[in-house]
Amino acid sequence: MQEIFEKIEEIALEIDNLIKTAEGGYSDHSNSTGDVQLKLDILSDEIIEQKLSSVKTIGSLISEEKENILEVSSSGKYTVCYDPLDGSSIVDYNLSVGSIFGIYENGLNAENIVASVYIVYGPRVEMVKTLKGSKPEHYRLVGTKFLNLGTITMQESGKINAPGGTQKNWYPYHKLLIDSLFQDGYRLRYSGGMVPDLHQVLLKGGGLFSYPGTTDKPKGKLRDLFEVIPFALTFIEAGGEAIDEHGLSLLGIKPEHPHDTTPCFFGSKYEIAKVKEAYANA
Ligand code: AHG
Ligand code: MN
Ligand code: MN
């Protein structure tokens, strides 16, 4: 596992450099979800594949940017699922973006995730590493080294509300939930990049990030293996919660296909209780 973490640190440095120096704009290709890929999506994916395919403990790699599973070593026990560059729609406008990694052992169910790592490329480059059973560790890049800033613990409640999805297509009970939080004094914080948006909720110790099912996308937008499950592990180990639209832990989901998506809610305990109430009779 240590070797995987070291490679991810090298990857973070290379992708950060790429974001700062490579050409922007779209390529001529689409990924399996149907998104037109940015040149940066493809280059970031190549960096990760090249770095991780030499790690002996990794059996296979699954990228948001590739349809198929890549087998790398027959003796490797881990499958690493990754979103090379999260925030394709905002990177060319110089908003913060990220990379997300979920490390699974013994099959691709949420309960089999053993660690997750995400990197935020913002005014600073930061990394959060979570091993199952331990508090998430927060790091900041200083020069070429990641400095450990300590562990992350969430409070019982927070003050920010980050509501994803197109409002026109929200179900009425979801709109009531979001409106009621604003009525209670919550403040809108939504950049359109789940990595910085969730990072803010985590570091501020509470609040809610939601990406619900909508009338046009009943299963939501965020992908289980590379986005939803890795962040669920981080939030739950930090003392927060992460649930689906049935109020069940996201660490119980069983994706049928590598690119499946699930409506998701991440937050501190108070706001997640509000989600459960709002969705109870949905
Ligand atoms: P990606 O760039 O990897 O396709 O994912 C972007 C995701 C996520 O970061 C964000 O929360 C969400 O898409 C934003 O979606 P909306 O534009 O629908 O708010
Ligand atoms: Mn993404
Ligand atoms: Mn992506």
Q: Where do the domains of the chain lie?
A: 2-151, 160-280
CA dihedral angle for residue 251, residue 252, residue 257, residue 263, rounded to 10 degrees: -70
- CB burial string 202-226: b at 16+ within 10 A, e below: beebbbbbbbbbbeeeeebbbbbbb
> Check: CATH 3.40.190.10 for 2-151?
no
Please answer whether residues 38 and 27 qualify as being in contact, where contact means their C-beta atoms are separated by less than 8 angstroms: yes
Q: Which residues contact 280 (CB under 8 A, 6 or more apart)?
A: 247
User: What confidence tier does 34 reach under pLDDT thresholds 50, 70, 90?
Assistant: confident
Residues in contact with ligand 1 (CB, 6 Å cut-off): 35, 64, 83, 86-89, 164-165, 192-194, 221
pLDDT > 90 in the chain, percent: 92
By the 8 A CB rule, do 237 and 132 touch?
yes
Q: Check pLDDT > 90 for residue 89.
A: no
pLDDT (0 to 100) of residue 224: 98
CB 83 within 8 A of CB 223: yes
Position 32 confidence tier, pLDDT thresholds 50, 70, 90: confident
Please name the helix (run of DSSP H) or strand (run of DSSP E) that holds residue 269, with its range, or none: helix 269-279
How confident is the model at residue 276, as a pLDDT?
98
- Strands, E, within 19-144: which ranges? 26-30, 36-38, 58-63, 70-71, 78-86, 97-105, 113-121, 125-131, 137-142
- CATH number assigned to the domain covering 160-280: 3.40.190.80
The alpha carbon of 13 and the centre of ligand 2 are apart by a number of angstroms equal to 19
What residues pair up with 101 in beta bridges, in sequence order? 82, 117
Overall average pLDDT of the 123-145 stretch: 98
pLDDT of residue 70: 96
Give the number of the ligand closest to the Cα of residue 87: 1
Output the pTM of the full model. 0.97
Q: Kindly state the tokens that stand for 213.
A: 């099912």
Kindly report the backbone phi and psi dihedral angles of residue 83, in degrees, each rounded to the nearest multiple of 5, phi listed first. -110, 105
Task: Kindly give the distance from the C-alpha atom of residue 209 to the centroid of ligand 1, in angstroms, as a whole number.
Answer: 12
Residue 25 has pLDDT above 90, yes or no: no
The pLDDT confidence band at residue 48, using thresholds 50, 70 and 90, is very high
The mean pLDDT value for 214-226 works out to 98
Looking from the CA of residue 87, the nearest atom of ligand 1 is 2
CA–CA dist 183, 274 (Å, integer):
13
Q: Whose CA is nearest to atom 3 of ligand 1?
A: 86
- Residues near 204 by beta carbon (within 8 Å), at least 6 away in sequence: 158, 159, 160
Query: How confident is residue 271, by pLDDT bands cut at 50, 70 and 90?
Result: very high
Let me know the angle formed at the C-alpha of 29 by 97 and 109, rounded to the nearest 5 degrees: 60
> Which pLDDT belongs to residue 87?
95
Q: How far apart are CA 36 and CA 269, in angstroms?
A: 37
- 22, 105, 180, 182 from 245: Cα distances, Å: 39, 26, 18, 20
Q: State the Cα–Cα distance between residues 232 and 226, nearest whole angstrom.
A: 11
Percent of the chain past pLDDT 70, that is, above it, reads 100
Residues 6+ apart with CB under 8 A from 259: 32, 33, 64, 67, 223
- Quote the pLDDT of residue 35: 83
Q: How far is the CA of 227 from the centre of ligand 2 (A)?
A: 6
Record the tokens describing residue 258, joined without a space: 């590598």
Which ligand number lies closest to the CA of residue 193?
1
Q: With 90 as the cut, is the pLDDT of residue 23 above it?
A: no
Q: Tokens for 240?
A: 């927060």
pLDDT number for residue 33:
82
Identify the nearest ligand to the CA of 48 by its number: 3
What the block records as the tokens of 169 is 């297509």
pLDDT of residue 38: 87
Instruction: Check residue 128 and give its pLDDT.
Output: 99
